[in-house]
Structure 1
């Protein structure tokens, strides 16, 4: 069993949100992701999808894209991104009856010796136009990460956090409060997405504060799932 990660699939069953407006790299990006996935991922692997899965606005529309993911090899753990407007309650998500997808929603997911936790996260406090409304969302997401990590009772498990927003400041790229929470719970690895195009310059990777960080935005990975463990 190996653990892979890829974020920002930006699937669009309606055809209303073509991603190639962000550059030629995005032409036929869904086919690139799915073909690479099928070439790499085995049935007993786990794939962490850290947000921005579908452009759908309603859960019924997102189901079309989620079903495509469900039919790909491997088990999948999915967390919310800033564009996943279709995201709903845990009961409604589980009511979709998708066989290989676990929705990370204020909880954790254990697979063999690995436990996956996470939250959506939020923009860094030194981001442009960060205001009091953002402060409230930031605090709420910190609480959600705490809740997710608090589910872990077995200290022998390898702890991975998946978060959509980079858990670093924009200006100096220093770890922010989300990393402080990870340290409190002895997290060993963190995957995140959200960064595209010119935003790739803000990516921070490697071992920091004892945690191994990976940027897994799909275009950052050239649409190839990245092996995190295994």
Structure 2
């Protein structure tokens, strides 16, 4: 039994949304993900998927991508990405499959760990950050706190968090999100969202203020889930 992580599957089985605009390595990336998953993940393992699951705009389309993931071995736990428009009702999603869990203001477990998370949003340090961005960012902070509070209330003090957006800029500056993660003494933070040239200056693991931040974008981890815990 082990805990793995990956993000940005960007599946489009019900339509045509090629990802090789981000590089030739994205050609038939769904086949790469499947082959690597089958080679490494067993039914006893758990895989964290940090957002951008599907390009589908509606659940009717997204169900084909979710079914594809469902057929892969292991338990899967998800947070929402900025492209996951199919994700509308958390209640409906969590009723679909026993092996697939979706986080929104709640949490799930792996061994003695609570798995919490939220989508996150653009970094407040960006020059392009607007008042509209600030509203969404504050809402995401609330959602993350609700998830963390639910875990703590249930007695968990060992926590792993998934956030789709990077929790800080490439300068690794502190912000309200990192302050919240530090307040709850989160051990590991899994994130994605970045692709192509945006990954060139990124460290695979950033250790900062006793927290460990791990990037799991598909093209960064060569389309293979990486082991987080054994």
TM tier relative to shorter chain: over 0.9
Q: Contact (CA 8 Å) 1:169, 1:176: kept in 2 or not?
A: no
Contact 1:50 1:193 in 2 (8 A): yes
Number of corresponding residues = 228
Alpha-carbon RMSD across the aligned residues, in angstroms, is 1.4
Query: 1:155 & 1:203 partners in 2: Cα distance?
Result: 34
Greater mean deviation of Cα atoms: 30-39 or 107-116: 107-116
- Residue 102 of structure 2 corresponds to which residue in structure 1? 103
What TM-score do you get using the length of structure 1 for normalisation?
A: 0.95
Secondary structure at the residue paired with 2:200? Answer: helix
Deviation at 1:14, TM superposition (A): 2.6
Instruction: Name the stretch that deviates more: 198-207 or 33-42.
Output: 198-207
Match of 1:168 in 2: 168
Question: Structure 1 residues 121, 202: closer, same or farther in 2, change over 3 A?
Answer: farther
For residues 82-93 of structure 1, the aligned pairs below 5 Å read 82-93=82-93
On the 8 A contact 1:167/1:177 being kept in 2, the answer is no
Residue 202 of structure 1, CA deviation = 4.8
Q: What residue in structure 2 maps to residue 52 of structure 1?
A: 52
Offset at residue 126 of structure 1 (A)? 2.0
Q: Which residue does 1:220 correspond to in 2?
A: 220
- The aligned residue for residue 211 of structure 2 is 211
Q: Which moved more, 1:35-44 or 1:104-113?
A: 104-113
Query: How far apart in 2 are the matches of 1:90 and 1:193?
Result: 21
User: CA contact under 8 A between 2:6 and 2:218: conserved in structure 1?
Assistant: yes
1:53, 1:66 → 2: CA distance? 8
- Where structure 1 has 5 or more consecutive residues not aligned to the other structure, the ranges are none
Structure 2: where are the runs of 5+ without partners? none
CA distance in structure 1 between the partners assigned to 2:154 and 2:178 by the alignment: 21
CA shift in 2, pair 1:156/1:89, >3 Å: closer
User: Does the Cα contact within 8 Å between 2:113 and 2:156 map onto a contact in 1?
Assistant: no
Alpha-carbon deviation of 1:15?
Answer: 3.3
Contact 2:14 2:64 in 1 (8 A): no
Paired residue secondary structure (1:16):
coil
Judging changes above 3 Å, is the alpha-carbon distance between structure 1 residues 125 and 202 closer, same or farther for their aligned structure 2 residues? Answer: farther
TM-score by length of 2: 0.95
* Whole-angstrom distance in 1 between the partners of 2:89 and 2:198: 31
Could you say what secondary structure the match of 2:116 adopts? strand
1:23 corresponds in structure 2 to: 23
| Aligned ranges 1:17-166 → 2 under 5 Å | 17-95=17-95, 97-152=96-151, 153=153, 157-166=157-166
**Secondary structure of the corresponding residue to residue 98 of structure 1:** coil
Deviations 1:203-226 (A, max 9, x none): 342321111111000000010111
CA distance in 2, matches of 1:180, 1:59: 35
Contact 1:55 1:83 in 2 (8 A): yes
